[in-house]
Structure 1
Amino acid sequence: MLASENTPIPSPIANAVFAEDKLSIGITLPITRDNQSIVDFQEQIALARLADHLGFRALWVRDVPLNSIDYPDPTGHLDPWVLLGALASNTERIALISGAIVLTLRHPLHVAKGAISVDTLSRRRFILGVGSGDRPPEYAAFGRDPDARRDLYRQHWETLAAAVTAPSRVIPDQAPDGAPEFYLLPRLNTSIPMLAVGSGGQSVDWIARHSLGWMTYHHEPQAQRGRYSMWRAAVDRAASGGFRAFGVAMRLDLSADANEPSTDISLGYRTGRRALVALLHKMRDGGTHHVTLNITSERRPARDIIEEVAAHVLPEFHR
């Protein structure tokens, strides 16, 4: 979130997750097995408490408004604001991040109200990640034109940014004669940081000017280096010498064999913990500031994976 196009507003929680020349590690919820459609969300809350206690830096929550038979993710996701509220009440230190609210399918003032509510409940631990969605049939179900996605994202971002930047300001869609001046409560004392998750149909220069940073999916190392170089050049153009974060969502199938070498899987790796540490060091050295782990628990309980990463991986990076 920016006070102007070139001056980021300091945010303690954003600085805890995204710091120059450092890498932090988070977890994406829910943690499920392949093709699992029914999720025990009480278990997910327990895993969130564990991650908070063990020192992970962030919990990420997705926004999946509608499911369909042709959508590859069968999981029944909770509404993100409901889940974020539960996480805010059940954790103490860990950052909570929406990854990402589908900004084009929600009214930005509703998004702002949800963001301010979670930020208040969590005592300033919320980072507002937003995206544009990528399923044309879902746009149609909400009466939106997918071809207008790019413009709609920018328009909604402007309204949302005004509402979650202290002092908060409501930009109404319409303001007929005699309309009162609206505002959002609770009042914001500090701005809520905003993060672009995916591109939202925007250029990297636009993202570098307006966002705390850019969060992307995992790509193979050469492609990822190219994406970071493109991002770094955009940041230099937007704010020479300034810091903007670069983060990655990475799937992790952690082997019980600590020495198993890493092998590619879709959007991530199957690996033992020692090779995982080496991979994360390379990512940090290549300019990645945060990695959120999409843990697959098909072969091992999720709790075991979280505990092993906390014991043997986090100490390498969370000093």
Structure 2
Amino acid sequence: MNSIASTTERRVFSEGRLSIGLTLPLLRVGNVVADFREQVELAALADALGFRALWVRDVPLNSADYPDPVGHLDPWVLLGALAMHTTRIALASGAIVLTLRHPLHIAKGAGSVQTLSNGRFILGLGSGDRPPEYAAFGRDGEERRELYRVHWETVAAALGEAPRVVADRRPEDAPEFMLLPQPPSPVPMLAVGSGGQSVDWIARHSIGWMTYHREPETQRARHSMWRAAVERLPTPGFRAFGIAMRLDLSGDPHERATPLSLGYRAGRDALLELLDDMRGNGTHHVTLNLTSDRPVREVIEELAADVLPHFRT
């Protein structure tokens, strides 16, 4: 594997270590309209302050029935902007909806971001968790698991060490296709959620498994299941385990942690304890979905000054 890609992966996922990233958009609680020029500025700040990854979601459609009212930019457009305004931080999709996009379009987008970012992209892929969107895109939700596997194989073929285009159909007079420009390095592919697959399938095909925060005992059980799947591989090796966690960082550094949906409200002392426990239990990366009534820049700067140094190597 190309050294640039290996360096990016190691900076985000490394055995025995924990790295910290941020999930975009970075909004103050109650604000559901993002100023994306400001988001790019905050991303550049996170890069300068030493966060390891910026995560971008793929939310193709909004509905009044959905709990998330935020309008998200198309992920490829936003990732392209981030690639041009950052220099070291990894860029990750969390996650491109593999089942609702043509896999060759995904491969083209991923290769483009890898090229613009000089090898800093990690392609997180999910199957989507909103069944009505399948109907809107003319897809059968019952085919989600099979679509995920088939599309994954097509993307992997296009982005691997020996890139090749797997066409849906190949008439007798069809030419051989290629995706150009070729990125500077293969694009790492990461499973975000299960995509309807077993942990053994994920361990065989992905650089790791990214999942939502859960109550600690449940999370420990999921991690044990993951480690067992990794150990069952024909050639066991490192496979990452990461968590996306909501965080309301209190202005009181000594405030104890209180559970929230998909995360915690906590002061930085309690946050350090939570993160240290996650590291000890085998988590390699945590991306923080910030939700606070404090100014976002203030929260980012506090995390950089008082939390990141404890996990920096």
TM-score range, shorter chain: over 0.9
For 2:76 and 2:18, locate their aligned partners in 1 and report how far apart those are by CA, in whole Å.
27
Distance 1:165 1:71, change over 3 A: same
Work out whether 1:307 is the aligned partner of 2:305. no
Q: Does the CA contact (< 8 Å) of 1:61 and 1:100 recur in 2?
A: yes
| Distance apart, 1:135 and its partner CA | 1.2
Aligned runs of 1:237-256 on 2, under 5 Å? 237-239=232-234, 241-256=236-251
The one-letter code matched in structure 1 to 2:8 is I
| Distance apart, 1:134 and its partner CA | 1.4
For 1:74 and 1:134, locate their aligned partners in 2 and report how far apart those are by CA, in whole Å.
16
Aligned runs of 1:113-128 on 2, under 5 Å? 113-128=108-123
Aligned runs of 1:77-116 on 2, under 5 Å? 77-116=72-111
Q: Does the CA contact (< 8 Å) of 1:166 and 1:188 recur in 2?
A: no
Calculate percent identity across the aligned residue pairs. Answer: 69
The one-letter code matched in structure 2 to 1:46 is E
Aligned runs of 1:274-289 on 2, under 5 Å? 274-289=269-284
Q: Give per-residue Cα distances to partners, 1:71-112, cap 9 Å, x unaligned.
A: 110000000000000000000000000000000000000000
The one-letter code matched in structure 1 to 2:267 is G
For 2:235 and 2:228, locate their aligned partners in 1 and report how far apart those are by CA, in whole Å.
9
Q: Give per-residue Cα distances to partners, 1:219-240, cap 9 Å, x unaligned.
A: 0110000000000000000255
For 2:184 and 2:162, locate their aligned partners in 1 and report how far apart those are by CA, in whole Å.
7
Distance 1:241 1:181, change over 3 A: closer
Distance 1:300 1:311, change over 3 A: same
Distance 1:270 1:205, change over 3 A: same
| Distance apart, 1:37 and its partner CA | 2.9
The one-letter code matched in structure 2 to 1:228 is H
Q: Does the CA contact (< 8 Å) of 2:126 and 2:194 recur in 1?
A: yes
For 2:312 and 2:265, locate their aligned partners in 1 and report how far apart those are by CA, in whole Å.
22
Work out whether 1:156 is the aligned partner of 2:126. no
Aligned runs of 1:5-154 on 2, under 5 Å? 11-154=6-149
Q: Give per-residue Cα distances to partners, 1:240-294, cap 9 Å, x unaligned.
A: 5411000000000001111111110110010010111111000000010000000
Please state whether the residue corresponding to 2:201 is helix, strand or coil: helix
What stretches of structure 2 of length at least 5 have no aligned partner?
Answer: none
Map of 1:185 onto structure 2: 180
Please state whether the residue corresponding to 1:162 is helix, strand or coil: helix
Q: Does the CA contact (< 8 Å) of 1:108 and 1:160 recur in 2?
A: yes
Map of 1:211 onto structure 2: 206
TM-score normalised per structure 1: 0.95
Please state whether the residue corresponding to 2:77 is helix, strand or coil: helix
For 1:240 and 1:122, locate their aligned partners in 2 and report how far apart those are by CA, in whole Å.
31
| Distance apart, 1:169 and its partner CA | 0.5
For 1:177 and 1:220, locate their aligned partners in 2 and report how far apart those are by CA, in whole Å.
55
* Number of aligned residue pairs: 312
The one-letter code matched in structure 1 to 2:231 is D
Q: Give per-residue Cα distances to partners, 1:39-63, cap 9 Å, x unaligned.
A: 1111111110110000000000000
Please state whether the residue corresponding to 1:306 is helix, strand or coil: helix
| Distance apart, 1:35 and its partner CA | 4.8
| Distance apart, 1:190 and its partner CA | 2.0
What stretches of structure 1 of length at least 5 have no aligned partner?
Answer: 3-8
The one-letter code matched in structure 1 to 2:143 is A
Q: Does the CA contact (< 8 Å) of 2:112 and 2:183 recur in 1?
A: no
The one-letter code matched in structure 1 to 2:289 is N
The one-letter code matched in structure 2 to 1:107 is H
Q: Does the CA contact (< 8 Å) of 2:247 and 2:291 recur in 1?
A: yes
Q: Give per-residue Cα distances to partners, 1:2-59, cap 9 Å, x unaligned.
A: 9xxxxxx972211110000000000000012445332111111111011000000000
Q: Give per-residue Cα distances to partners, 1:166-225, cap 9 Å, x unaligned.
A: 221100000001100000001244211000000000000000000000000000110000
Work out whether 1:228 is the aligned partner of 2:223. yes
Please state whether the residue corresponding to 2:229 is helix, strand or coil: helix
Q: Does the CA contact (< 8 Å) of 2:119 and 2:184 recur in 1?
A: no
| Distance apart, 1:136 and its partner CA | 1.3
For 2:73 and 2:301, locate their aligned partners in 1 and report how far apart those are by CA, in whole Å.
25
The one-letter code matched in structure 2 to 1:245 is A
For 2:31 and 2:139, locate their aligned partners in 1 and report how far apart those are by CA, in whole Å.
30
